[in-house]
Amino acid sequence: MPTERLQKIIAAAGVASRRKAEELITLGRVQVNGKVVTELGTKADPEHDHIRVDGKLLHGPERYSYIVLNKPKGHVTTVSDPEHRPTVMDLVRGVKGRVYPVGRLDWASEGLLVLTNDGALANALMKAASNVPKTYVVKVAGQPDPEKLEKLRRGVSIAEKGGRRVRTAPAKIRLIREADNPWLEVTIVEGRNRQVRKMFEEVGHHVEKIRRVRYGPLSLDVPPGEFRSLTLQEVSKLKAAALALKPRPARPPRRERD
């Protein structure tokens, strides 16, 4: 079998996403034939080399699993938690293969969460620039006026970890229930940390409740705390959404005719 990059091998084995696998390598948590490897360009043969992650020997690619979970409030979206809080993994016991969440919903957020051991797909979906649409139902404190909603539709500047500010991509927003604290449907194409909450905070409104109801071609259709496997058709549509939106290489400039 030809050699492959270590992060790809680790992702294919269902240990972590390719991005997380890169972190494991740079942190010195991966060994190849007894030697610690920290270079991301390192390649190995998964059939002949002994590859260990945190001391555990990889056993080759796992059969891929794809599930959708309706995450309830009060669970963190991690495989384990140092504070011993409930995690989404507590809700998917019995799933074949070691799945892990694609992206995150914070502790207080609810709704549709995809989990898989397909590292290549997870990596493509988690990129902020993937352009896979994500739709949320949001309850906000107070009534945003039309000017504020239009500002959110155009994009606003929000703070990321470390204090760096970035401008969000245009969003789709519509009112779905009028009230003193109204409900809105918000569709974004990025996946920045707590993005929807930060967007509304920028225009002076606190998000009281948030639930993700759509992710690309998938719609939320299971009760809170429950999950189901994706159909083959749904997996194909999800892969198509991730691959179809990859940026194409820039074409060389056309030469002007004399």
The backbone torsions φ and ψ at residue 209, rounded to the nearest 5 degrees and listed phi first, read -140, 145
Q: What is the pLDDT of residues 5-30, one digit of tens each?
A: 999 889 888 788 888 999 999 999 99
pTM of this prediction?
Answer: 0.73
CATH 3.10.290.10 domain residues, the chain:
4-57
248 has a pLDDT exceeding 70: no
- How far is residue 241's CA from residue 68's CA, in Å, rounded to a whole number? 16
| Percent with pLDDT over 90 in the chain | 64
Chain segment 94-136, per-residue pLDDT in tens: 887 789 999 889 999 999 999 998 888 998 888 755 689 999 9
CB 197 within 8 A of CB 209: no
Q: Which CATH number fits domain 66-128+217-244: 3.30.70.580, 3.50.50.60, 1.10.150.570, 1.10.1740.10?
A: 3.30.70.580
Give dist(CA 173, CA 170) in Å, integer: 10
CATH 3.10.290.10 given to domain 4-57: yes
Topology annotation, domain 133-215: Alpha-Beta Plaits (3.30.70)
- 106, 145, 180, 258: the catalytic one is 106
Q: What span, in angstroms and rounded, lies between the C-alpha atoms of 227 and 113?
A: 9
What count of other Cβ atoms lies within 10 Å of the Cβ of residue 249? 6
For residue 47, pLDDT beyond 80: no
Q: How many CB atoms lie within 10 A of CB 221?
A: 10
Residue 49 annotated in active site: no
Delimiting residues of CATH 3.30.70.1560 domain(s) in the chain: 133-215
Residues of the chain with CATH 3.30.70.580: 66-128+217-244
Three-state DSSP at 26 gives helix
Residue-wise pLDDT tens digits, 69-100: 999 999 999 888 888 999 999 999 888 778 99
For residue 252, the Cα-to-chain-centroid distance in whole angstroms is 33
